Amino acid sequence: MRKHFYLLFITGIAIILIACSNTESKEKPTLKEAFKNKFLIGAALNTGEISGKDTAGLRILATHFNSIVAENCMKSEVIHPLEDQFNFTLSDQFVDLGEKQDMFIIGHALIWHSQLSPWFCVDENGENVSADVLKERMKTHINTIVGRYKGRIKGWDVVNEAILEDGSYRKSKFYEILGEEFIPLAFQYAQEADPDAELYYNDYNEWYPGRRETVTRLIRTLKERGIRIDAIGMQGHLGMDSPTLEEYEETILAYNKEGVNVMVTEFDLSILPFPKAGIGADLSANFDYQKELNPYTEGVPASIQEAWNARMLSFFRLFIKHADKISRVTMWGITDQDSWKNDFPVRGRKDYPLLFDRDNQEKPVVQMIINEAKQ
């Protein structure tokens, strides 16, 4: 009798505890609810999340986010490793996952000089292919990938990082062989492959006036030629000192004036010192490890954390202020553990650039951002 009573008592307590914890997690406000009428809130997914191994990351994704982008699995070196060979294993899983969770799915990136398949722009002797051959290869690449996910992937980074800070074009293989024309061509092929998908140009450090002006000219050129461009992606790989809010805002306003949406596409705020100013997301930048460049291995001091919180919050405040111009804000990863910033631009550091920590816990700034969105 006593034993039964004891069992009943324990079961009762357990039920109450489970009920309480459920209510608590259900009631805790989430980012996607907070931004519901403002913009989509997205995250870049890595292999761990796409394959389902990172269950903690996936829980955060389902709770807080309503859009996803492929961090690496759709880059040409992964998805199209040889001219006659595509590899859709991860990208298919990525799209399936997004559909199951009702996410706005973004493809990244169709034409990009980096993480480019070695065969793409050269012949068997390593010489640049002719303009006609490159056009054909771009067309097949874009048609096959965009066509495969037609109607399922809702927006594409069609061209990534083609313009430099001074406003000139990056001297990539695409540019060497086709000149500026490679960009309109890529947009045209993407539009033909899925006329309903949104098409974006994406770049970093767009607060540099030169780059901003050339991107603005690009929007005009595409529009004049009747080629659709729906939005400009502003990668948000920010540091503690740069850019200023005003610089970032100026670019949002400039693009908005051209009649396109703005998207904050790759947002992370590095807490670590940059070895050199203006690196942005230039993947060719690589610096040797030095202890002074990795100051917070044992955790971040309170005053630095506060400064980071304030800066992160002020950027979200800016996005909220311009919610009528911004269609999506995407974090470049879910937790600090995932972040590419741990290895860029210096390998092997410990950075803290995202909204969720290494233990998969929400950082205090998340609820501050949510409160801001409610006001």
Return residues touching ligand XIL (CB under 6 A). 71-72, 109, 160, 235, 266, 281, 283, 340
Quick one: tokens of 251?
Answer: 């670019």
Sequential DSSP letters for 129-171: PPHHHHHHHHHHHHHHHHHHTTTTS-EEEEEES-B-TTSSBP-
Q: Known catalytic residue: 206?
A: no
Q: Which is nearer to ligand XIL, 192 or 343 (CB)?
A: 343
What is residue 79's three-state secondary structure? Answer: helix
Q: Which residues contact 84 (CB under 8 A, 6 or more apart)?
A: none
Smallest separation (angstroms) from ligand XIL to the CB of 184:
20
Annotated catalytic residue within 71, 206, 266, 362: 266
> In the bound complex, which residue of the shown chain has the CB atom lying closest to ligand XIL?
340
Dist CA 54 CA 333 (whole Å): 12
| CB-nearer residue toward ligand XIL: 34 or 73 | 73
Residue with tokens 């947009």: 187
Q: How far is the CB of 160 from ligand XIL (least distance, A)?
A: 5
Supply 50's token pair. 């796409």
Burial tier of 12 (Cβ tally within 10 Å: 0-12, 13-18, 19+): exposed
Considering 161, 165, 198, 362, which one is annotated as catalytic?
Answer: 161
Quick one: 34 or 329, whose CB is closer to ligand XIL? 329
Residue with Cβ nearer ligand XIL (160 or 270): 160
Q: Is 306 a catalytic residue?
A: no
- Residues designated as active site: 161, 266
